[in-house]
Amino acid sequence: MSSMQFGIFTVGDVTQDPTDGTTPTENARIKALVEIAKKTEEVGLDVFASGQQHNPPFVTTSPTTLMAYMAAQTERIVFSTAIAQITTNDPVRLAEDYAVLQHLSDGRVDLMLGRGNSAPVYSWFGQDPTRAVELTVENYQLLRRLWDEDVVDWEGRFRTPLRGFTATPRPLDGVPPMVWHASIRTPEVAELAAYYGDGYFANNIFWPKEHYIRLIDFYRQRYAHYGHGSPEQAVVGLGGQFFIRPNSQDAVREFRPYFDNAPVYGHGPSLEDFSAQTPLTVGSPQEFVEKTLTFADFFGDYQRQLFLVDHAGLPTKIVLEQLDLLGEVLPTLRAEFDARRPATVPDAPTHAARVAAKQAAADAEAEVVTA
């Protein structure tokens, strides 16, 4: 495992392939996600992350069900949400569900939290969309306590109070899943990540880098403010997207219809303009590596890079080919990022490393007591 992690993230959308008009069934799409996760491990990547959405055209309503099935068929990759909704999920259920998944996967699970993709989803789950930020803060504070304390007394504004409650199973090895907070416009989320020393993730897909730089810089400053380390040592993850072929023109020709009809940015700017203005690369593997390396110039050296690959109606076969191509340039990406990275920047967090760190801290404390 190199010091930086690479992986993919999916929102699990069911989208028509604009080149032949076919749309996969929900069943086919869910099964395809499993194939994609297995491929992620096969090509040497480190992370597979799935979204949680509660409206069509998405099939990712139940990330722990999906990822437990995938974890059973893989051995090495880490699973993460991208994102799980901290607003609409009961923090008690989050604590329980992800602890079970953590045990089943032998520590191969992270939890990336976010607010959600649409206003109605709050109402569907009995929450008030105008209180989304307060809900995020309170729910996370409770989740944190449920994992960090064995017995919890708690009272808040958004959930029934708890007396003498223990969330079971207790986290594996006494170390809960690594938490990342994702946001692209809410400073309170960056503050929450900084206060707890958690990771911070910017999806880095749809907008120019300037939109993300501001909040990542803020998170780094606040991480240092709360005494977790220097700003450079804060734990940052980024998204990205690409479509590559050995020949750059082939990539552009093949991806253009998918780009032009993509749910988020289709029928808007040209592929060329959008590529120039956002982190998207459509081109050769070399062009892809060069552009990805610039991320560290803009955001600082960071720990985790996830790519969106299966979207816009791309058939699974092409997605798997893209993962093969990503696997081929992966050693270059790892080597180039490692070469530029100062020794003071921490490695990507893993369960084993976090267990070791906890043990080391406990040993140090014991030594102080005996001395």
**125 counts as binding another protein under rule CB under 8 A:** no
Residue 158 near residue 127, CB atoms below 8 Å: yes
Partner residues linked to 7 by β-bridges: 47, 306
Nearest CA among 80, 85, 42, 44 for reference residue 64: 80
- Select the residue interacting with another protein from 277, 286, 294, 344 (CB under 8 A): 277
Residue 346 near residue 303, CB atoms below 8 Å: yes
**298 counts as binding another protein under rule CB under 8 A:** no
- Select the residue interacting with another protein from 120, 169, 174, 208 (CB under 8 A): 208
Quick one: which H or E segment has residue 104? helix 91-104
Q: Judged by CB under 8 A, which stretch of 9-17, 239-247, 253-261, 262-270 contacts another protein?
A: 262-270
**206 counts as binding another protein under rule CB under 8 A:** yes
- Select the residue interacting with another protein from 26, 41, 96, 188 (CB under 8 A): 188
Structure tokens of 234? 């804060």
Q: Which residue has the tokens 């084993």?
A: 352
- Select the residue interacting with another protein from 274, 293, 330, 353 (CB under 8 A): 274
**187 counts as binding another protein under rule CB under 8 A:** yes
- Select the residue interacting with another protein from 126, 161, 163, 267 (CB under 8 A): 267
**192 counts as binding another protein under rule CB under 8 A:** yes
**227 counts as binding another protein under rule CB under 8 A:** no
**Which of 206, 298 has the CB closer to another protein?**
206
Q: Count of alpha carbons within 13 Å of 364, Cβ hemisphere only? A: 6
In angstroms, the CA 190 to CA 188 distance is 5
**133 counts as binding another protein under rule CB under 8 A:** yes
**Which of 38, 145 has the CB closer to another protein?**
145
Residue 170 near residue 100, CB atoms below 8 Å: no
Decide: helix, strand or coil at residue 75: coil
Decide: helix, strand or coil at residue 173: helix
**Residues in touch with another protein (CB under 8 A):** 133-134, 137-138, 141, 187-188, 191-192, 195, 206-208, 211, 218, 226, 264-265, 267-269, 273-274, 277
